[in-house]
Structures are given as structure tokens and as C-alpha cells.
Amino acid sequence: MASEPSSLSARLIAFGFDIPKLRYATRVALSACLALVLAWALGLEHPQWAAMTVFAASQPTRGQILEKGFFRLTGTFIGALVGLALLFASAGEPWPLVIGLSLWIAICVGIGNLVRGYLSYGTLLAGFSAAMVVLLAQSHTYTPLMLGLDRVLTVLLGVVIATVIGYLMTPATSESEALGQLRRLGADAMVAAAAGLRGEPSDPAALLARAAVIEDGLNAYGSGSLRARRRADILHRRLIALSDLLIVCTSSMVVGNPRVASVLEELSNRLHREAEPVDQSLDFTRAAQLTDDPLLAGALKTMAAAVGREVEITRREVLVEEHWDWSGARQAALRALVLLMCVGSAWALTGWQAGPYLMLGGAVMISVFSTFDDPSWVMRQLMQWQILAGIVSLFLKFVLWPFAGSQLEAILMIMPLLLVVVPLMSHRRTGAISMDYAMVLLLISQPIYPYPVSLLPAFEQTLAVISGPLIAFCGYRLIYPTNARKRMAGLGKVMRAELRAMAGARAVEGNVALWQARFSTRLLKLIRWSGKATAVRNEALAEGLAVLTLGHSIYLLRSLRRKAGISSGTKRAVETALARLARDAGRSPRTLAAIVRVARRLKADDPASAERLYRFMRPLGVCDDPALEQDAVHRRGSVASVLVDGRVTTGPIAAS
């Protein structure tokens, strides 16, 4: 008998089911059924909203449940207040509602695409919660105040059930997993860094891809408490410092150093043996004393600060700069505004009774999925689940509910159809977004007894709701089209624009540490968006190295402006190189040639700076050999040659 469970698990795994996900999906679905019954027992008008909240608020760890539940409740409360304000201010007239609601959702979408984590989720929720209050009130069955109160109370009940049951049945934290991932990455990164310092081949792109995955998950790791948030911040700083060291050591920008390489290899062995070596900071400090290269020494000292005791880690020692995607946020807001105004105008002009549901479906899809890397692809996948949910809802309304003897029986009839989501969520082929089946089924299955048997209105309502992904798909494809490649291209433009601004600044030098922290964060995003294709990932890394190379070159050139001992001719060459960089950020061979001329002149005035400038330019093929130098410059063509017009390319790009 003892072998039966394992045999059953083996069979489920063989059929493609994930056992932990199966347990999680079962818990969530049963909790949603409980919320459905309790909401009805409490006399709430829309008990299905409580069940929807359980699906939305449930998470795999306690901290995530608490934090997501808080932001869901807060976002719902704010959205309900805004929805009520719009209803009272417009006196129920459709045009003021369409304009006000479109503007509010656009603002929420813009902010939600600018911030990160559950704050983004709560902001987006505030947008479409207002839509639910405003648009569902158009049925004239409920007073606006009662509808808003019902929305808040059902969400509160769903959050409480998801939190209580989830808190009792989920692990307290995923801390050991996050720490283990970072430790293993650190051990492998030390080996790659040591290989780079010895001039041996390594694969930093694969390691940076792992770092990008860890960085993306640190927000969830820090959920639930201030202590967890502080710990996640420390791990984030450690990850950025590790990425900096890996890039510096493998980029050929620093002088090879076998002694430092030996220290890093010893650290790698210890990281494989020990969970948290106590004196890592001392080892990195000792390694920094073994090199005269300021770039390598700086990276090692930053790493020493990052792995030191938690109380010693401050923002001044290890900088972490967030990437604020202002352009992407503005585009997402304008996309939502234009799309909702078009859909809302069609409703206001035609007076179609299912028009509010059409606008509601579009509002949810254009806001919730706007933060995804490729939302149009997600919309294509969601369509099939929404169509399935629509068909099942019609079956429920016109086949099952006519046999219900009470509202409780109508609610109980929903449950078997709702539990279908358990195998869908836990199977490897359908698990990603199949939860949308349950969400749409609940959204359009208002348990009314007796249910008015009217096929056309029910069909129109179902058609309007399941059209949401199609409407949003058109928006994502036609209004500021976006996908991972385009996000890469946009980030590449931001990085190059920053290079132009740095080159055009009149300051003597500037804060190079702050810029490099911001660069590292952006490079991890660039690597993450490049996907799993090795060639694309390597080209994204090449783009990042080009930006890093030019950035350090710009700061060095700026420091030479007022440096003593530099001839006037060399300073004119410096100004010429900076002027070219301010125009094209290194897009033309002439710009690289201008930097090479500075390096040549510096050999007589400041040999140490000349050597540093050549090292910074080495990843671009520029060397200290005059016979090879010009050929390398013209062969490389453009240092910003990877991300152009949304495509990943190689080869030279003509100067602008």
C-alpha cells in the first residue's frame, strides 16, 4: 500500500502533470469554492467576485500571499472609490463615463508599467476595478454605492480566505532557494572571472542570463515583511556587484592577473562547499590589493562590500539603480487610452446593451498584460481559454441552472465546472495561463435564481467579454507594438542616448559608479529579454559591452579636459572625440578613429591614461598596434550594432 502514492505520482508525472502545482491548484480551486459559498451566505450580490479574488491573490509562499493580498485590497478600494466618483459626477451619461474611465485606466497603466512588483499589480488593479464598478452599474440593477461596496466586500472576503488558507498550507519563505541560486551563480561566476583574467575562454552571457532570472525573482523573495524586503535588497546589491565583476574580468578591459584569478578560484571552491563563507569580504579585499588596475580593483572592492555583514552594506558602498522605462510607460498609457476611447465610443454611439462588457473585457486585457514582454502573444493564447469559458458559461446558464431549486443550488452547480481548472493549471502544456478560464467563467456567471432564460442577451454578454483578448490583441499589435525584441531595441536606444548625454556634459568627470550600477541593471534586463537563443543572447551581451566600453572611455576623456600635463593639441583631440560621441554614441568608424587619435597623442603626454583608454577600447577590436588599429576600427564599424529597428543584427551601421 505504501507504494501506491508514489506510483500514482509517477503516473501523473508521466502524463505531464507537475505534482507541486497540482497540490497548489487544488488548494486554490477549493478555496475559491469556499469563498463562493461564504459570499452567498453573507448576502453579497456578486459572490463570484470573492472566488475570482482567491485565484488572483493566492501565491506559493506566505510572504507573497500577504503582500499581494494587501495590494489587491488597496487597489480595489481605490478603484471602487474612483468608479463611484465617476458614476456620481457623470449622472450615468455614457460619454463622461467613457472619457473619465479611459483617462483613469490610462494613468494606472502608465504608472503600473513604470513601477515594479506588487505595487505595479495594485496600480493596474485600481484601474480595472473602477471599470468593473462603472460598467457593471450600467445594467441598472444595482445602485452605484451598493455595487461599489459589494465589490470591496467580496474582494476583502476573497483576500481573507486566500490569506488564511494559504498561510496555513504554504511554506513561510523561499529564502533557501534564492540564496542557493545566488551562491551557485557566484561560484560559477568566480570560475569564469578567473578564466577571463588568465585570458582563457568563458561564457559570461549564460551566467548573466542566470543572474537576470534571479534578479527578476528577488521582488517576490522580499515579499511579506520589512525584514524580507531588506534581505532582498541586500541580495540585489550582491547580484549587481557580482555581475559587474564578471563583466569586467571577462571583457578584456583589465590587465590579466593570475594571482587574482587564483583567489577567485579558491572562493569558487569554498562557495561550492559552504552555504555562506564568513570571510568572503576579506578575500575580495585581499584580491583587490593584488592588482594595480583601478577598474578591476574597484569591482573587487564593491564585491567585498556586497558580501560583507548586512549592517555594513550601504547604498554608498554598493549602488543599485533601477531602470525607469518612461518611454514604455508612456506608450502603454497612450495605447490604453486610445483603445478604450475607441471601444467606449462605439458603445456610447450605438447604445449596445453588451457594450459595457465589451469595454470591461478590453480594459482588463489592455491593463493587466501590458507589463508582459510579449502581450500580443499572450492574447492569442488567452483567446482559447476565454472561448472555452464562454461556452461553459452558456452550458451552465441554459442547461444546468434551469434545474436549480435555489440560488445555493445554482452556486453549487458552478463548482464542478470551476474545478476543471485544477488539471489545466497543473499540466505542463496548459498551466501557464489556463487560470483565465476560471476567471472568465466566474466573471460572466452571476448566480441569479431564478435565472431569466433569455438566450440573446446572455450570448451577447458572453461574446462581449470573450472579445477582450481580441480587442487587446489589436491594440498591442497596432498601437505602439511591443514584444521582447522591441523592448530590447528600446532599451538599447536609452543606453545609447545616455552615452550621448554623458559625452555632451560639461562636467569634468561625473559619477562613474552610479552610471555603472545603472548600466548593470539595464544589461540584466537586456539579457533577460534576449530569451534562450544563444546567438541573440551573445549579441545582446556584445551590445552591452560596447556601451560599457564607450561609457568608461567617455568618463576617462572627460577627466582629461583639465588634467595637468596634457598638451593643448591632445585636449583638442579629446574635445573632438567627445563631440563625435555626443552626436552618434560611437555609431560610425570616424568616432572610433577619433578616440584612437586621442590614445596615440596620450602616449607622449600621459602613458598610463593612454594604456587605460586602449584597454577600454579593446573589446571593440581596437588595439595598441598601429598596423592593426585602423583595420580593427573600420572592420568593427559600429559599436552599437546589435539592436536596430527591433531586429537583432550584426555588422557595421552607417553613421547617422
Q: Name the 3-class secondary structure at 181.
A: helix
Same domain for 455 and 564, yes or no, is no
pLDDT of 60 above 80: no
Same domain for 491 and 628, yes or no, is yes
pLDDT tens for each residue of 615-653: 888 877 666 555 444 444 444 444 333 333 333 333 322
| Bridge partners, residue 644, by sequence | 647
DSSP state of 588: S
- Residue 513 in contact with residue 313, Cβ under 8 Å? no
Cell reading at 499: 552615452
User: Is the Cα dihedral 137, 142, 144, 148 positive or negative?
Assistant: negative
Domain boundary among 261, 285, 312: 312
Cell reading at 229: 524586503
Q: Which amino acid is residue 578, in one-letter code?
A: L
Q: Which amino acid is residue 194, in one-letter code?
A: A
Q: What integer pLDDT is reported at residue 641 of this predicted model?
A: 39
- Least Cα distance to 86 among 135, 134, 17 occurs for 134
Rounded-to-integer distance, Cα 479 and Cα 346, Å: 18
DSSP state of 449: S
Q: Spell out a b/e string for 229-264, using b for 16 or more CB atoms within 10 Å of the CB, else e.
A: bebbbbbbbbbbbbbbbbbbbbbebbebbeebbebb
Same domain for 164 and 213, yes or no, is no
Q: What integer pLDDT is reported at residue 180 of this predicted model?
A: 74
Reported as type and span, the H/E element at residue 253 is: none
pLDDT tens for each residue of 285-327: 888 999 888 888 988 988 888 887 544 444 444 445 566 778 8
Q: What integer pLDDT is reported at residue 107 of this predicted model?
A: 95
- Whether 2 is covered by a domain: the verdict is no
Please state the rounded mean pLDDT for residues 488-514.
82
Q: What integer pLDDT is reported at residue 528 of this predicted model?
A: 82
Q: What does residue 499 show for φ and ψ, rounded to 5 degrees?
A: -60, -45
Same domain for 56 and 89, yes or no, is yes
pLDDT of 76 above 50: yes
- Whether 653 is covered by a domain: the verdict is no
Rounded-to-integer distance, Cα 362 and Cα 338, Å: 12
Long-range contacts of 600-607 (CB under 8 A, 24+ apart): 600/626, 601/567, 601/569, 601/570, 601/573, 602/560, 602/566, 602/570, 604/567, 605/565, 605/566, 605/567, 605/570, 606/560, 606/563, 606/565, 606/566
Of the pLDDT bands very low, low, confident and very high (cuts 50, 70, 90), residue 22 is confident
- Whether 321 is covered by a domain: the verdict is no
Cell reading at 601: 597623442
CA distances from 478 to 335, 474, 534 (A): 9, 6, 30
Geometric angle at alpha carbon 620, from 614 and 626, rounded to 5°: 50
Same domain for 84 and 99, yes or no, is yes
pLDDT tens for each residue of 335-348: 999 999 999 999 88
Q: What is the average pLDDT value for the chain, to the nearest integer?
A: 80
Q: What integer pLDDT is reported at residue 315 of this predicted model?
A: 42
pLDDT tens for each residue of 198-229: 888 888 888 888 888 888 777 666 555 566 66
- Least Cα distance to 212 among 507, 483, 475, 541 occurs for 541
Max mean pLDDT range (105-109, 131-135, 257-261): 105-109
Same domain for 52 and 198, yes or no, is no
Same domain for 362 and 331, yes or no, is yes
Same domain for 510 and 372, yes or no, is no
Kindly state the percentage of the chain with pLDDT values over 90: 16
Q: What does residue 637 show for φ and ψ, rounded to 5 degrees?
A: 70, -95
Q: Name the 3-class secondary structure at 315.
A: coil
Give every CB contact of residue 165 below 8 A, 6+ residues apart in sequence.
27, 31, 34
Q: What integer pLDDT is reported at residue 638 of this predicted model?
A: 40
**Helices 568-584 + 589-605 axis angle, to 10:** 160
Rounded-to-integer distance, Cα 215 and Cα 124, Å: 22
Domain boundary among 415, 444, 478: 478
Please state the rounded mean pLDDT for residues 13-31.
84
Rounded-to-integer distance, Cα 429 and Cα 447, Å: 31
- Whether 84 is covered by a domain: the verdict is yes
Q: Lowest mean pLDDT: which of 151-155, 468-472, 476-480, 528-532?
A: 528-532
- Residue 51 in contact with residue 66, Cβ under 8 Å? no
- Whether 87 is covered by a domain: the verdict is yes
Better-predicted residue by pLDDT, 167 or 40: 40
Rounded-to-integer distance, Cα 86 and Cα 98, Å: 10
Please state the rounded mean pLDDT for residues 437-465.
82
Q: Name the 3-class secondary structure at 568.
A: helix
Q: What is the DSSP string of 369-393?
A: GGGSSSHHHHHHHHHHHHHHHHHHH
- Least Cα distance to 339 among 562, 187, 617, 127 occurs for 127
Cell reading at 18: 507537475
Please state the rounded mean pLDDT for residues 449-465.
79
- Whether 317 is covered by a domain: the verdict is no
Cell reading at 407: 440560488
Reported as type and span, the H/E element at residue 644 is: strand 643-644
DSSP state of 275: S
- Least Cα distance to 371 among 321, 322, 333, 337 occurs for 333
Q: What integer pLDDT is reported at residue 322 of this predicted model?
A: 61
Q: Spell out a b/e string for 421-434, using b for 16 or more CB atoms within 10 Å of the CB, else e.
A: bbbbbbbeebbeeb
Cell reading at 656: 547617422
Rounded-to-integer distance, Cα 60 and Cα 217, Å: 13
pLDDT tens for each residue of 572-592: 999 999 999 999 888 788 888
- Whether 565 is covered by a domain: the verdict is yes
Of the pLDDT bands very low, low, confident and very high (cuts 50, 70, 90), residue 2 is very low
Q: Lowest mean pLDDT: which of 19-33, 41-55, 219-233?
A: 219-233
pLDDT of 654 above 50: no
Q: What integer pLDDT is reported at residue 146 of this predicted model?
A: 76
3-state helix, strand, coil in the chain (%, to 5): 75, 0, 25
- Residue 45 in contact with residue 128, Cβ under 8 Å? no
State the CB neighbour count (10 A cutoff) for residue 113. 24
Same domain for 606 and 468, yes or no, is no
Domain boundary among 478, 507, 528: 478
- Residue 299 in contact with residue 285, Cβ under 8 Å? no
Pairing label, strands 647-648, 643-644: antiparallel
Same domain for 293 and 250, yes or no, is yes
pLDDT of 135 above 70: yes
Rounded-to-integer distance, Cα 641 and Cα 628, Å: 21
Same domain for 522 and 432, yes or no, is no
- What does the CA dihedral 508, 514, 517, 520 come to, rounded to 10 degrees? -40
- Whether 654 is covered by a domain: the verdict is no
pLDDT of 244 above 50: yes
Q: Alpha helices, DSSP H only, in 468-563?
A: 468-478, 484-504, 512-529, 534-559
Reported as type and span, the H/E element at residue 648 is: strand 647-648
Q: Lowest mean pLDDT: which of 30-44, 228-242, 387-401?
A: 228-242
Same domain for 644 and 502, yes or no, is yes
- Residue 595 in contact with residue 584, Cβ under 8 Å? no
Q: What integer pLDDT is reported at residue 563 of this predicted model?
A: 85
Question: How many folded domains does the chain comprise?
Answer: 3
- Residue 393 in contact with residue 441, Cβ under 8 Å? yes
Range of the domain at 491: 485-648
Q: What integer pLDDT is reported at residue 640 of this predicted model?
A: 39
Q: What integer pLDDT is reported at residue 484 of this predicted model?
A: 76
Rounded-to-integer distance, Cα 652 and Cα 656, Å: 12
Please state the rounded mean pLDDT for residues 427-443.
82
pLDDT of 140 above 70: no
State the CB neighbour count (10 A cutoff) for residue 311. 6
Reported as type and span, the H/E element at residue 47 is: helix 47-57
Q: What integer pLDDT is reported at residue 578 of this predicted model?
A: 92
pTM higher than the cut 0.75: no
Residue count of the chain: 656
Please state the rounded mean pLDDT for residues 163-181.
68
Cell reading at 263: 583567489
Q: Which amino acid is residue 216, in one-letter code?
A: D
